[in-house]
Each structure stands twice: as C-alpha cells, then as structure tokens.
Chain A
Amino acid sequence: MAKGIRDKVAIVGMGCTRFGERWDSSGEDLLVEAFSEAVEDAGIDPQKDIQAAWYGNVFAELGLGSTAMPCAQVLKLPFIPVTRMENACATGSEALRGACYAVAADVYDICLAIGMEKLKDTGFGGLPTSGPGPKGRFTWPNMTAPGGFAQLATRYFAKYNLSPEEGKIMLAKVSAKSHYNGSLNPKAHLRRAVTVEQIMNAPIVAWPLGLFDSCGVSDGAAAAIVVSAEIAKNFRQDPVFIKALQICTTSGEELWHTEWDGTYIATTTHAAIAAYREAGVKEPRKEISMAEVHDCFSISEAIAMEDLQFSARGKVKDDIAAGRFNLDGDQPVQPDGGLKSFGHPVGATGLRMMYEMYKQLQGKAEQPERQLKNPELGLTHNLGGYPAMSVCSLFIVGH
C-alpha cells in the first residue's frame, strides 16, 4: 500500500527573483537569478550535484520556446535529464512535484525544480488567450480568466444572500490585506497598500470583479533544490520537509454535468481532503499555520478558504471581517502578498509560494515585521483553468 510523500523529501535550497514588469530582464536572466540563489542557499555545486531537473513554463512562445532545452542551455545543466512541465497555473508546483517524486522514488538524491514566466513581452495587459485548442476556438465563448472567476462570485453571492455591495466589500478586504502584505515585501510586484474604498471604486474588469480584485501579470522565476529526507541535514540544519503533495484535475462534471453549484472549486475540495489525509492533518483550521493560496482573483482566495476547510461553507465573510487571514491574524494567508500583490508569472508561481513557506518556516522572512511567529505547517495552493474546469495543486510543508 502506497504511503504517500510525507517526510520522504526535503527542500534544502530556494531562490526567487523579484517579480514584476522586468523590462530589463530576459527569461534567461530570470532563470539564472532564481537558480543562482537556490544553489547558493543549498550550498551545492550546480555542475556536479544536480542529477535531474523539472522546468515549469506555460507560455512557451512568450518565453524561451518549447521543451526543456532552453532551460538546460541557459543554466548549463551538464547532460542531465531536464523536463518541461505545463499544467496551467499549477505548473510551478508540477515542476516541484516531478522533482519530489524522483527523489522519493530513490532514483536521484538531488533534483532541481525551477519555474519561469516572461509575460511582459506580449504588448498588452492580462494573460494571452490560451487553453481552448483548435476545437475550443470554434465552441468556447469569447472569454477571459476574470470573466470565468467573476461567475464564481455571482453564484456565491446569490447562494449566501450577499448583496452586491456586501459581496464586493468582502472581496475588497481580501485584496486590501494582500496589498498590505506585498507593500512590506521587497520582492513583490505591487508594493502599494490600497484601501477598501479604493478597491471598491476601481474600474470593473468583469463584474463584480474590478481592477484590484485581479492579480498582477508579472515576470519572474523561482527555484527549489530537493533532496531525500535522509540526507537533508547534510545540507542545512533547517530543511523544510514535504508533508503532502496533491494534484487534482477536473473530471468534466463541473462544466458538462449539472450537479456542481458553482460556489466552490471541486478540485480544491478534493485535493484538500487528500492532502490532509496524506499529511495527517485532522483540523486544518487549527493545524495549518499559514498558507499561500491561488488568489488570481479576490474571490478565488475567499472560496479557497472554504474549500481548504479554513472556514466553514458560507462563512468566510466572517473570518475575513475578523482579520483571521491577516499577517497578524490566527491563520495568515498570503504573507508575501499573494498573486494579487507579489505577482503571477504563471510557471513560477507555485515555487514562489513555496519560497515564502520555506523562508517563514526557517524564520528568514526578509523584514522582521513580515516574519510569522513559530509556524508549524505551511500550505501552498494553485488553481489552474476556470472554476468550471480546473486543476489544483496542494503542498503541505513543515519542519
């Protein structure tokens, strides 16, 4: 009987670039920046020690092109296996998953996971249209990510009898918290705190979601050095151990069957149950010290709180209002600013989240006011696609 990933793999080095509109940096530059920090942090020789690598990148034609070859060429990885991963917004976490599984399988001792996205060479704001494929071009609506997630908000508001005003205020508080956290973080893309009132008055992107309900579109890269648990302490005294690692992909039911009610994310709900079982977490609301969740939009974060069982169904509004997820709250969420404020270079995002959990668990958040007190377990969550068809990744990490 398979026992899962718990305590088989550790992260011993991480790197993360400053996220943002990196007009000055190429995709190659970003890869080297994240890689160099991770290698130095792990204290390894990149030419001798890394045995295999997984490279996460979504929009290949905006970045360095397809395949893992550009990554291997740029980093001068010496004829080792390098694989490119793509699974929408879960891509960075998929790269980490590949590295973790290889180590857990005892095939390698030391692996690299690296994710990079160069989004600001498109010439326009927002993500490029992607996903439908040649048939979807004929049959999908003329849609965008904010339009998809906006419908999660309208369904949620309707089910729980929130007026548009009440719903918008709930969401504004989510974004205000993340903007504040990002303002403290030197690596974050958007470093300006904004008020609930500013958020409420911003232009609408897709009703009811406005400009400040939407995450940044950023350039950036992040990397992790993963080793087997037995040898982790050879690298450092404070490695971070993988407690759970789950991917959950839609079965088609949400979009094509009529039972899903559109007020929760089915994949996150399933992945959370599996991850808590794998990690031995009984009461996630109490046991998970902190989380970086996929707040591509404010509503995505709010709904994730319920799907992850941090808040009861329909009750996240009360927890948001009580400040539960603030930096000084009982269960801080997005301590680094989240996608909202830290930014969202898609292929790097999952690893960026892990970078924050890793640093927080080690007590090494750059600014003292950002450091959380004695976190035990951290959770990272990515959601790719749309509410009606999604892929979710979940990691739980700890000492």
Chain B
Amino acid sequence: MIGIKSFGAYIPRYRINRNTIFSAIGFLGAIPMAGEKAVANWDEDSISMATNASIDCLRGIDRSSIDGLYFATTTQPYVIRQNSTIITTALDLRDETRTSDYVACTKSGTSALLAAFDGIQSNNSHDIIVCAADCRVGKPGSPQEQHFGDGAAALLIGNSNVIATLEGSYSISCDFPDRWRSTEEKFEHAWEDRFIRDEGYARIVPRAITGLLQKCNLTIKDIAKIVYCYPYPRDYPNVAKKLGAEPSQIQDNLLAVVGDTGAAYALMMLVAAIEEAKPGDRIIVASYGNGSDAILFKVTDNINTLAKSIGVRGNLAKKKELNSYEKYVAFRNAIPVDVGMRGESVPYSALSLLWRERREILALCGSKCQKCGKPQYPQQKICVNPKCRAANQMLDYRFSDRQAKIFSYTGDYLAASVDPPNIWGLLDFDEGGRYWFDFTDCDLEEIKVGMSVELSFRRKYLDESRGIHSYFWKAVPIRS
C-alpha cells in the first residue's frame, strides 16, 4: 500500500503579533489580520527549515533505505545549485538518492508529494522524503507581510508500514496571475485581493475537492477532515460549508498562529490533521497556487504505533514572542543593519573543500575510533584520546542527531551579529565527543552549564558578494 510512513514539521521559535507589524507601518491597504505569525530566526531559511522538518520526520527511522528527496518552496536560496541536494547532504543520505526541487508556485508542496507517489508506484524509488518550506518576505507595510508565515513540513513516502494510504488525487493547473515575482526581485507582487479570493481561491479550491470526490466516488460526508488552503480567516469555513461539510470536518487553518507558509502550507495543515486522526479517517488535502492539487488519504492502524515526532502540535507549543518589528525586518534582511567593519569582511568560501569534506561539514560526521570507541569531531586520522592515539582506525560517526550538554558558554558582544550577543560555547556530547558551536533560538539568561541541547541545521553566513549561502549546525536548548 502506497502512502505516508512518517511525518514531521518545523515552525521557527519566534512569533510576531500582527499588531506589532501593523503598528509599525500600517495603512488602509493592510487591514490588520488577527493573531500572530511564525518568523524564521535570522539564521534560518527554507533549506534549513526543510532540513529540520525532515529530521523530525526521520526520528527513530533508519535513513539508509531512503532513495529520494523532493523539496518544495518558493524561496529557494539558490537558483543554480540544487537546494534539495544540500538537504540530502545535511541529512547524510546516500548519493544514490533521487532529488528534485519543486519551485515557483505555492502548490509545489503537493506537486512534490504526487511526484513521490508516482515514483513509488512505478517501483523506481523505495522511500522518498517530501519536504516543503517557505520563508517569504513581504515588503514592509504590505498585506503579505502580515499574511506570510514561515515553516516547514516533511513526509516520508513509501509502500510499507504506512500510516495513511494514498486513495486518489485530482489536479488543476491554470495560469491564474494572482501573485508573481521575477528572479531579480525580493518581494512578491499581487493583483487586487478581491480578485485573488473570489476568482482564485473560492473557485479553484472547491473545484479540486469536488473533482477528487467524484473521481473517488465519495461524498463530503465520507471525509473526516478537509484540509485546504484559503488564507481568509473570516470566509475560511464557508468554502467547506458550501460543499456540505460540517464545522467538525474542517481542519484548523493555522492562520492565527503560523500564517500562510506558501509551498509548505498544505503539508503543514495535513501534518496537523494526521496528528489528530484515528485509524479509518479519510483526509483530503487541497493546495493552492496556479491551480490546486487535491489528494485523498485514509489513515491506517499504524498511526497508533508510529514513533512520536514533534510535528505541528509540538512546534506550536515551543514559541517565543518577537516583540520588535525592527528585529523582524532585520532578521529578514529587509533593512540594512550595520554589523561593523568586522562583520563586513566575509572571507571566501572554499567550495572544493566543502565538496571534499561535505559529510564532515554539512552532515556533521566526525570519527569514532575503532580501538578505544571515542567519538570525535572534526574527523581525525589519529585518535585524540591520549590513552589511545591509534592511527587510521576511524569510522565515520554522525553527531547531528545526538544530544549534548553545555560545557561552557558566553554571550559575545564583539562577534558581529544581527541579533547580539552571539551565544556560543563548547558542547560535550552525551555519547562522547566535544566541539564548539554557535547556539541559537535561546536567550543568554536561560543558558546554564550542563543544560541539554540538540543540534539544528542553520544558515552560517551569507556571502552576498559571491552569492554563497553557507550552512552548519547550531545548538538549541532542549526545553521540556
């Protein structure tokens, strides 16, 4: 049976209240939306969030059987250099993994999902990760600035031990010109919002859902949960009601707590729906963006035994309010921020070195000495243990999914950062090994020696003059 084997999500720690945004630059065109939205930290983007959602999805799962990864976004950091392959490297997947980027459209998340199902169905792939993330920046003062939220979802697709089977799909594609952005632009343009809502969402999404139901010979009453993209809070339930659905069948739209997460939006809501589902439930998910993909799933008994991921629910519980609009626009590089001459000097990035040592850098693979068993990072040829010193007896050893404790730390005000002080320190891994890391998603006051941390994949720096996005792992406190 083809379907979803596991799921994960990632929502950045910070949430900004939409009133904070509106009170900074509000005008008539930007009527304040209710609630808050999720905001990526300054060191996050769609690649890093998709990686972290995939890690959540792969909790307790052997990564060696995975032979595909599809990444969907509209905010891919690279136009040339495949973004999904950076994710597979970070996840330490095999080179024999089929990868693809699904971009330029907010329905690309479901497009990637359908492509994965096709890959499994044709027996060309065994297990495929579909991850979607978006980190869209609305122009300061624009409606999009309130509307867009940041986040990611990941689904593992395969044909055994599935928690939800694929029952059918129905796709519509049309060049509906509601939003656009050309390659050289930072911010999206949009046509009049009433056109987008009434001629776009309100026609296309119901058409896809109805088409799917007819194709599968089902009625709306057969569906436990309807998940659909329609980012207008007041009208949202009416779309499903017009199709005959009861309020209990309508999935919460995350708009008041996360926002519209673009290519990740449909999949994040799907993850949230699966989290609440019970065996036998049928779930429809319908995306939006130059058309719509509507997909039907049926939840299986395996849902009860799947290892717990953090998911949407867990991520929603982990949050901190960002109460400064200025910080928010600085995080998104929407205003120039002075990092001093020290911060301006970005050294060149040795990409041939990055290639040679990609497992060590992007997958955080160190060494484990076969003689004394000591894990060590970075990779060593001669064992660092003074009682061992064995030469050339090392096996690769991945640190990225292991917990550590803070050995020492500081808040460094001299290190250039858009969010000073830069907190960094040494970590001792619970299963052995020590190295120094930047810390992120934390406040200096809460950090203590001995505190447990896990690693999160983050942007390390952006070399604007050479167009290089650099990534590495940072420590994040584990908050129970």
Contacts and interface: CB of A to CB of B under 8 A. Distances in A.
Interface of A: 122-124, 126, 128-129, 134-135, 137-144, 146-148, 150-152, 154-155, 158, 203-207, 251-253, 255-259, 262, 388
B449 A158 contact: yes
A126 B413 CA distance: 12
B386 interface: yes
A139 B410 contact: no
A262 B350 CA distance: 32
A154 B408 contact: yes
A252 B412 contact: no
Nearest to A138: B361
Nearest to B386: A253
A300 to B, nearest CB: 14
Contacts of A203: 413
Given A126-B414, A141-B438, A255-B435, A154 B449 contact: yes
B437 interface: yes
Interface string B450-468: 0000000000110000000
Contacts of B386: 251, 253, 257, 259
A137 B386 CA distance: 27
A67 B349 CA distance: 25
What 7 pairs across the A-B complex have the smallest Cβ distances? Answer: A147-B412, A151-B408, A134-B350, A150-B410, A141-B424, A141-B438, A144-B414
B433 A258 contact: yes
Contact of B410 (A129, A151, A252, A255): A151
B345 A206 contact: no
A145 to B, nearest CB: 8
A348 to B, nearest CB: 22
B197 interface: no
Contacts of B409: 151, 154
A388 B407 CA distance: 11
Nearest to B408: A151
Interface in B7-30: none
B43 to A, nearest CB: 10
A120 to B, nearest CB: 13
Contacts of A388: 426, 436
A142 B435 contact: no
B415 to A, nearest CB: 5
A137 B347 contact: yes
A126 B386 CA distance: 35
Nearest to B426: A388
Contacts of B345: 128-129
Contacts of A258: 428, 432-434
A206 B414 contact: yes
Nearest to A124: B341
Given A255-B426, A256-B377, A262-B426, A141 B436 contact: yes
B411 to A, nearest CB: 5
25 contacts: A124-B341, A129-B342, A134-B349, A139-B472, A141-B436, A142-B438, A143-B415, A143-B436, A144-B415, A146-B412, A147-B414, A151-B410, A151-B425, A151-B426, A155-B408, A205-B412, A206-B410, A207-B444, A252-B384, A255-B436, A257-B376, A257-B384, A257-B385, A388-B426, A388-B436
Interface in B365-413: 374, 376-378, 380, 384-386, 407-413
Interface residues of B, number: 51
A22 to B, nearest CB: 19
- State the main secondary structure of chain B at its contact with A: mixed
Given A255-B435, A256-B384, A143 B342 contact: no
Contacts of B414: 126, 144, 146-147, 205-206
B458 to A, nearest CB: 11
B235 interface: no
A13 to B, nearest CB: 38
B410 A256 contact: no
- Most chain B beta-carbon contacts within 10 A, residue among A147, A150, A158, A207: A147
B77 interface: no
Contacts of B350: 134-135, 137
Contact of A137 (B349, B385, B422): B349
B421 interface: yes
B301 interface: no
B353 A134 contact: yes
Given A154-B409, A252-B384, A142 B341 contact: no
Given A123-B341, A124-B341, A257-B385, A143 B412 contact: yes
B410 A126 contact: no
Given A141-B422, A255-B434, 14 more contacts: A126-B342, A134-B348, A134-B349, A137-B349, A146-B414, A147-B415, A151-B408, A151-B409, A206-B413, A251-B384, A256-B384, A257-B384, A258-B434, A262-B407
Nearest to B354: A138
Nearest to A261: B407
- Most chain B beta-carbon contacts within 10 A, residue among A135, A150, A158, A256: A256
B417 interface: yes
Contacts of B436: 140-141, 143, 255, 388
A150 to B, nearest CB: 4
B357 interface: yes
A62 B461 CA distance: 24
A129 B342 CA distance: 8
B384 A253 contact: yes
A124 B415 CA distance: 12
B223 interface: no
A147 B357 contact: no
B469 to A, nearest CB: 12
B233 interface: no
Nearest to A386: B436
A258 B405 CA distance: 12
A204 B413 contact: yes
Contacts of A143: 412, 415, 422, 424, 436
Interface in B340-362: 340-342, 345, 347-350, 353-354, 357, 360-361
Contacts of A150: 410, 412
A255 B407 CA distance: 11
A259 B460 CA distance: 29
B416 interface: yes
A138 B472 contact: yes
A99 B3 CA distance: 74
A141 B412 CA distance: 11
A139 B361 contact: yes
B470 interface: yes
A256 B342 CA distance: 28
Nearest to A140: B436
A142 B384 contact: no
A207 B411 contact: yes
Contacts of B433: 256, 258
A139 B461 CA distance: 11
Contacts of B385: 257
A150 B449 CA distance: 13
A257 B374 contact: yes
- Most chain B beta-carbon contacts within 10 A, residue among A146, A206, A259: A206
- Most chain B beta-carbon contacts within 10 A, residue among A141, A205, A255, A258: A141
A370 B297 CA distance: 85
Nearest to A135: B353
A144 B412 contact: yes
Nearest to B470: A138
Contacts of A134: 347-350, 353
A321 B416 CA distance: 36
Nearest to A153: B410
B82 to A, nearest CB: 19
Nearest to A209: B410
Contact of A147 (B349, B407, B410, B449): B410
B93 to A, nearest CB: 19
Contact of A124 (B342, B408, B472): B342
